Amino acid sequence: MGREALGRALDLDGAFNDVVLRLAPTADRPQLIAEIDRRLAPHGGRGLYGRDRMLSARYLSDELSQLRTLASILPPIFLLVAVFLLNVTLSRLVATERANIGLFKAFGYDNRAIGLHYIKFALSFCIAGGLVGTLFGRYLGGYMAEVYQSVYRLPELPFEGGFGVYAAAVLVSVLAAVLGAVSAVGRAARLAPAAALSPPAPTRFARLSERLEARVARLDARLRMLVRRIVRFPRRSATTVGGLALSLALLVMSEHFPIAIDRIIDVNFGITQRMDVTLAFAERERAEVLREVARLPGVREVEPLRTAEVPRSTVSLAPICGLSIRSRRGSHSRPALPANSG
């Protein structure tokens, strides 16, 4: 039926039972809610509540909160991995080109020129990665905006990424590249020409503490070499452990999402909402209605339920009764109540 005809048939012409208010930025929300509740109470008002308690808005706000959390956790992990890889690559490059560095220094190149050369090497890869990431981020951002617009049925959700966003992203990647190259560049700049032209000196080893040596002596030869190398190079060992920890954390985080989604689906549709159809009534019904619904074609089992709203501004309960119906095509592990239960 149309709105006009239905309103006249129920003697509710011109009436409404829901109202949505848009507040001004300067409005005092608690005081305004209290005043509107006071005025609508004689007309059956059940109390106002904010947008944060609306189901659709809560779904969207929780999703945005999850995205904000991911955006603050995942990029630092990838940047730390990039810093580690740049440091390892440049350190090995400097060690390989010791003779070339010493030769250039002998011909008059100062430490600044040598260091700038390796900084440019790191920045070239950083800028190339930043450009590729910017283009891919633009495409991926537009795609994600379309997905959210379709899922949440938003009228419009354009992807907005201004110049400042891309500039900040490239700047962060440049800082990560410089941070990863600082150690290797400093090592190349500190090399004296005579020391660089000569073969690298062998590593000087010293005995460990007496207590540690006594414990290491109980191990076999391979394990003793391993323990001594870890203890004698603590920074390298700590870097290796940190890199492995970050990579494992990223793997655990990426594998967590499909497991969590499967668990949510299982709990929501296998335990909480096992019905195929929900039939709601405005008022409490008799037990005969339960049996009548159970006799409908295709219905296997019927489970009665009753919910009661508790408005914020009143203490009266408004019962809303309903039936959860499972059809013959439904398959669930736990049985519902029989059709003849009260």
The predicted pLDDT at position 336 comes to 38
Task: Quote the pTM value.
Answer: 0.57
The predicted pLDDT at position 159 comes to 85
The predicted pLDDT at position 15 comes to 80
The predicted pLDDT at position 340 comes to 36
Q: How far apart are CA 313 and CA 41, in angstroms?
A: 9
Q: Are strands 277-281 and 318-327 parallel, antiparallel or unpaired?
A: antiparallel
| pLDDT, tens digit, 9 for 90 and up, residues 52-93 | 888 888 888 888 888 888 888 888 878 887 888 888 888 888
In the beta sheet, which residues pair with residue 318? 309
CB neighbourhood size of 94 (10 A): 22
Q: Single out the residue of 73, 71, 95 nearest to residue 183, CA to CA.
A: 95
The list of the chain residues with pLDDT below 70 reads 196-197, 200-210, 213, 309-342
Q: In what order do the strands lie in the sheet with 299-309?
A: 277-281, 318-327, 299-309
Q: How far apart are CA 317 and CA 69, in angstroms?
A: 39
Can you tell me which residue has the tokens 């073969």?
199
The predicted pLDDT at position 334 comes to 39
Total residue length of the chain: 342
The predicted pLDDT at position 200 comes to 66
Q: Is 157 exposed, middle or buried (0-12, 13-18, 19+ CB in 10 A)?
A: middle
Q: How far apart are CA 71 and CA 260, in angstroms?
A: 19
Tell me the C-alpha to C-alpha distance, in Å, between residue 186 and each of 103, 123, 175: 17, 16, 16
- Please, are residues 299 and 326 in contact by the beta-carbon 8 Å criterion? yes
The predicted pLDDT at position 332 comes to 40
Question: Cα dihedral sign for 139, 144, 147, 148?
Answer: negative
The predicted pLDDT at position 317 comes to 41
Tell me the CB-side half-sphere exposure of residue 337, using CA atoms within 13 A. 12
Q: Is 340 exposed, middle or buried (0-12, 13-18, 19+ CB in 10 A)?
A: exposed
Helix (H, G, I), strand (E, B) or coil at 318: strand
The predicted pLDDT at position 246 comes to 76
Backbone angles phi and psi of 295, in degrees to 5: -90, 0
Element counts in the chain: helices (H) and strands (E): 11, 3
In the beta sheet, which residues pair with residue 27? none
Q: Is 276 exposed, middle or buried (0-12, 13-18, 19+ CB in 10 A)?
A: middle
Domains of the chain by residue range:
3-48, 50-201, 274-327
Q: Burial letters for 1-26: b for 16+ Cβ neighbours within 10 Å, e otherwise?
A: eeeeeeeeeeeeeeeeeeeeeeeeee
Q: Give the list of residues 6+ apart from residue 230 with CB closer than 8 angstroms, or none.
A: 237
DSSP class of residue 272 equals I
Reduced 3-state DSSP string for 56-114: HHHHHHHHHHHHHHHHHHHHHHHHHHHHHHHHHHHHHHHHHCHHHHHHHHHCCCCHHHH
